Amino acid sequence: MGRRQFSLPIAMRAEKTTVLHSWCRQTEWNAPTIVGGAGAHLQTDAGQSILDFSSLAECSNLGHQHPRVVEAIRAQAQQLCFVTNAWGAQPRARLAELLLEKSGFSDGRVYFTLGGADANEHAVKFTRQASGKPQGWVITRDRSYHGASYATMALSGDSRTATQIDPASLRVAHVPPPYAYRCPNGTTSASACGTAAAANVAQLIDARGAANVAAVLMEANAGTNGIVAPDNYWPALRQHTRERGVYLVADEVMSGFGRCGEWFAWQRHGEEGRPDLMTLAKGLTGAHLPLGAVVLSGALARVLEPQMLYTGLTYCGHPLSCAAGVAAIESYQAEDLIERSRRLGAAMFTRLQQMQQRQPLIGEVRGGHGLFAVIELVRDRKSREPLSPWPDLHVALKGLLRTALEAGVSFAARGNLLLLAPPLVIHEKDLADALDLLERLLGELTIAMTTPTRA
């Protein structure tokens, strides 16, 4: 019997007509096709080089096609592509060991998932089981994002999906965010806002009864919500949950692996900020392959160990993804990227503060702990009127993003926020040039917003 020959079609149908794309109207999707990348740059099929100033979805911390990670994937594929976690796998064991080492959860355990959303779902599952509260309440906050599955839509305080799920039906309750620039508690200083926001959590635990609350789940630093909590917020939150015997889960899906200047953002607060669990994804493999994880403290792991764990994922701890994770962590360490993010992030933040003095549309600049910063745009600094109602993207800001892309830089925006999160490997000149471009475009945006429209 002869060998059957397969060939690719000469011309593929346009992706625009065959794929459902996330977080957009399908009729409006019209993105370039990426065929390669290196460092902080992407390459399109039209030959354009694009500087990626958002690490795609704030996940490509190592840039694109990192040689060490690519080689690790190749080597693992040649040895063993897949085995379920009913069996052992060397890269899975090694990655768990590295995560426990970098987090300081030396006697803890790691559960691997496929991404951030299912990591957060499993963190909730583990806290409910370990606390003996299968229907225990989980407290999260408004203006947060923990995923877009049904469970994580409930966990998220995301106005885009709020009408699709009833959080209370899944025993989830939300508290106001530590948003100092527009403090929902009416405070007038960052520290007062941080204190009030943490106190809201304590008050809700007390109102529900600590015996009925399984966990508090919070982002350890900014996510796509664009809120960077005041410095006193996380330690106060940890104190309130510890005093009440409620597990604290740090969602480090976006903030981990150097993005905020530490291996994990909570580490900036030292031991007094240590959570009971943390969830990971994105930078875990530098986005080279899908992988998520829940890292559990030793105390919580000891509770679960003698119990039956009623959960599972076919690709839990996939060897290829774990090999990528090992190589990613080795790369962060060998290239000193955590410290580099801290250093370049501080320089970027200083430059943005200087930009704020010259650009009247910049209401506030937040972040700066690592290569992550948020610019909040306003129509008027005194009134703090946003450029557009949250979470709508103003048409003029859409124009800024298009112009930047034509100039070879991809910026990310949401609502009235610009989210700056370049790969940790970005060249310093590229960083400076992109910020120069951004300032020029913000100046043009100011003119466009303040020039009366002719009839």
What are the chain's domains? 25-58+336-450 (3.90.1150.10), 68-334 (3.40.640.10)
Nearest-angstrom CA–CA distance, 13 and 341: 41
pLDDT the model gives residue 422: 98
Paired sense of beta strands 412-414 and 417-420, if any = antiparallel
Q: Is residue 191 within 8 Å of residue 109, measured between CB atoms?
A: no
pLDDT the model gives residue 101: 98
Paired sense of beta strands 213-219 and 34-38, if any = unpaired
Instruction: Give every CB contact of residue 330 below 8 A, 6+ residues apart in sequence.
Output: 68
Closest CA to 106 of 265, 264, 296: 296
pLDDT the model gives residue 454: 54
Q: Look at the alpha carbons of 127, 93, 146, 425 in this order and tell me if their dihedral is positive or negative.
A: positive
Q: Is residue 441 within 8 Å of residue 399, measured between CB atoms?
A: no
Both structure tokens of 83: 């085995």
Both structure tokens of 431: 């960083």
Both structure tokens of 398: 């859409």
Paired sense of beta strands 292-296 and 109-113, if any = antiparallel
pLDDT the model gives residue 452: 66
**pLDDT truncated to tens, each residue of the chain (455 aa)?**
344 443 444 456 789 999 999 999 999 999 999 999 999 999 999 999 999 999 999 999 999 999 999 999 999 999 999 999 999 999 999 999 999 999 999 999 999 999 999 999 999 999 999 999 999 999 999 999 999 999 999 999 999 999 999 999 999 999 999 999 999 999 999 999 999 999 999 999 999 999 999 999 999 997 888 999 999 999 999 999 999 999 999 999 999 999 999 999 999 999 999 999 999 999 999 999 999 999 999 999 999 999 999 999 999 999 999 999 999 999 999 999 999 999 999 999 999 999 999 999 999 999 999 999 999 999 999 999 999 999 999 999 999 999 999 999 999 999 999 999 999 999 999 999 999 999 999 999 999 888 765 54
pLDDT the model gives residue 249: 98
- Strand runs labelled E in 167-276: 172-175, 213-219, 247-251
Closest CA to 284 of 298, 300, 270, 263: 263
Furthest-apart CA atoms within the chain: distance in Å: 80
pLDDT the model gives residue 448: 86
pLDDT tens digits, residue range 391-419? 999 999 999 999 999 999 999 999 999 99
Nearest-angstrom CA–CA distance, 371 and 349: 9
Q: Please give the radius of gyration of the chain, using alpha carbons only, rounded to the nearest integer.
A: 22
CA distances from 278 to 100, 163, 248, 371 (A): 11, 28, 8, 21
pLDDT tens digits, residue range 130-160? 999 999 999 999 999 999 999 999 999 999 9
